[in-house]
């Protein structure tokens, strides 16, 4: 197998392994411990507070938007962030390969 074929094989493999665009999330996940609105609650007395509550935040035009993440969505949110980072890694690798293929194919002509 020559260099171009090997690169194209790697290219296909990377494209196949890319996560679906439907399942990516670009966000920061934060954990918060909060006091509640009930003044007599234990959370107002000691050091312990309610939580952790998971929030995700987006920066949009200089403003930060926060969304509370319900328990049943935490796993999907984490997975979405992982997919997003994974996709970028694949894009970087693909760009390197695509560049090399472009050069090699030009030389062949």
Choose one: 42-50, 55-63, 64-72, 80-88; the region binding Zn ion (CB under 5 A): 42-50
Residue of the chain from 4, 14, 29, 43 that contacts Zn ion (CB under 5 A): 43
Q: Which of 53, 54, 21, 17 is nearest to 34 (CA)?
A: 53
What is the gyration radius of the CA atoms in the chain, in angstroms?
23
102 is an interface residue for Zn ion by CB under 5 A: no
Choose one: 1-9, 31-39, 77-85, 86-94; the region binding Zn ion (CB under 5 A): 31-39
34 is an interface residue for Zn ion by CB under 5 A: no
Residue of the chain from 12, 15, 30, 36 that contacts Zn ion (CB under 5 A): 36
Q: Please give the structure tokens belonging to residue 106.
A: 């030009």
Q: Please give the structure tokens belonging to residue 51.
A: 């939580």
41 is an interface residue for Zn ion by CB under 5 A: yes
CB 39 within 8 A of CB 99: no
Residue whose entry in the numeric block shows the structure tokens 């107002």: 44
Q: Where do contacts with Zn ion occur on this chain (CB under 5 A)? A: 36, 41, 43
């Amino acid at each position: 197998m020559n260099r171009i074929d090997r690169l194209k094989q790697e290219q296909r493999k990377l494209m196949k392994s890319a996560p679906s665009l439907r399942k990516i999330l670009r966000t920061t996940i934060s954990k918060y411990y909060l006091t509640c609105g009930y003044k007599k609650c234990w959370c107002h007395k000691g050091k312990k507070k309610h939580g952790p509550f998971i929030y995700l935040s987006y920066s949009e035009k200089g403003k930060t938007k926060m969304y509370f993440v319900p328990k049943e969505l935490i796993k999907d949110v984490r997975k979405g962030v992982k997919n997003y980072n994974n996709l970028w890694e694949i894009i970087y690798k693909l760009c390197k390969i695509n560049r090399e293929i472009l050069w090699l194919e030009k030389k062949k002509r």
